[in-house]
Amino acid sequence: MNRFLDLADFSREQVLDLLALAQSLQDHPQPHALVGKILGLVFFNPSLRTLASFQVGMSRLGGDSFVITPGQGTWQLETRLNAVMNGAAAEHVREGIPVLASYCDALGVRAFADGKNLQNDLNETLFGMIDRLCDKPLINMESAMNHPCQALADWRTMDELRIPKRAKFVLSWVYHPKMLPLAVPSATLHMAAMRGMEVVVARPEGFALPPEIMAKARLAAAASGGSVSETSDRVSALAGANVLYAKEWGSPQHYGDAEADGRLRADLVDWCVNERWFAGALPDAKLMHCLPVRRNVAVADEVLDGPRAVVKREAFNRLAVQMAVLHRMLS
């Protein structure tokens, strides 16, 4: 495996195979599998789980890693092609990425959406450039529209919880003071569809995911036998649900326009998950979230501290599945 950029690049069988490898590495640790291998980690954006779990994953497999955080101890990196670089950035990714790749055996890169032009971000303009610049194996640690490590960890979490393939999976928009990127909702939606689930996207008016994202998920559902629908009625969405996956995102209609997005979300503070949301769901319905989560803003304490919340297991599974990806890529 030379690239881990998008679950959609893999067949369902290949994904199941990776999940089996994750389980196998948990049952039968391979502390020498990646001896002598070095992973470079480049974070254009903040991280907690990703930063810790990739370093730990390499360690647990006998390898090593280093961390580069442009703008913090490292030069700010320019990403615009043909830029006349007389601003804050001292170096261009066209030099930075190949140089870092030359030092290591694989590179992980986190580069969030630019958040200005929806089409550019849907096209993964930045991550596509990084992809072309990297002649070593490359892992997407969250790009403009994708977060395959999170998606794979969530898939594993549902398998562990024995949530049926055909179960009802509700991806619901939840409130956040700022417009967050579309990466996790897009990746989650596609993952659940690819897993074969009955997927419902619940979101207020104005927060429908871009048609390209919905179409990609529908394609995955068609292949897996699942389904994808969307609604602004969260009560109907949650009726009979096995899983509520809460996620914050900005209005695609007002992409790059924080003010317009802010006006739209101002009235939506009640999109904070509490126990009442689960009234019509299955009794043991689960609450999933990729973290970080703003307590009592996106999800209430009563849910996060109760038995429904499986968010810490999702986070732990980041380590488990990433070890499988690293093993497949580097061993």
| Contacts (CB under 8 A) with a second copy, residues 85-104 | 85-86, 90-92, 94-96, 98-100, 102-104
Report which of 133, 155, 274 is spatially closest to residue 226, judged by C-alpha positions.
Answer: 155
Q: Which of 60, 136, 218, 265 binds a second copy (CB under 8 A)?
A: 60
Least Å distance, CB 187 to a second copy, is 19
Nearest to 186 by CA among 210, 167, 222: 210
Q: What share of the chain is helix, strand, coil (3-state, %, to 5)?
A: 40, 15, 40
- Least separation in angstroms between CB 87 and a second copy: 9
Is position 129 an interface residue for a second copy (rule: CB under 8 A)?
Answer: no
Q: Which of 15, 113, 243, 319 binds a second copy (CB under 8 A)?
A: 319
Shortest Cβ 15–a second copy spacing (Å): 23
Three-state SS at 315 = helix
Q: Quick check: 38 binds a second copy (CB under 8 A)?
A: yes
Encoding tokens for residue 298? Answer: 């996106």
Binding mask 145-184 for a second copy (x = CB under 8 A): --------------------------------x-------
Q: What letters, b where the CB count within 10 A reaches 16 and e where it falls short, cover 25-46?
A: beeeeeeebbeebebbbbbbee
In the sheet where 3-4 sits, what is the strand order?
Answer: 3-4, 138-140, 106-110, 38-43, 64-68
Binding a second copy (rule: CB under 8 A), the pick from 82, 266, 270, 283 is: 82
Stretch that binds a second copy, among 13-21, 183-191, 209-217, 299-307 (CB under 8 A): 299-307
Phi then psi dihedrals of residue 230, to 5 deg? -145, 155
Whether 114 and 126 have beta carbons less than 8 Å apart is answered as yes
For tokens 């429908």, what's the residue? 208
Q: Does 68 bind a second copy (CB under 8 A)?
A: yes
Does 1 engage in binding with a second copy (CB under 8 A)? no
Of the candidates 118, 168, 191, the residue with the CA atom closest to the CA atom of residue 280: 168
Q: Closer CB to a second copy, residue 190 or residue 318? A: 318
Query: Is residue 207 within 8 Å of residue 195, measured between CB atoms?
Result: no
Regarding 205 and contact with a second copy (CB under 8 A), the answer is no
Return residues touching a second copy (CB under 8 A).
31, 35-36, 38, 40, 43, 46-49, 51-53, 55-56, 59-60, 64, 66-70, 72-75, 78, 82-86, 90-92, 94-96, 98-100, 102-104, 177, 291-297, 301, 304-305, 311-312, 315-316, 319
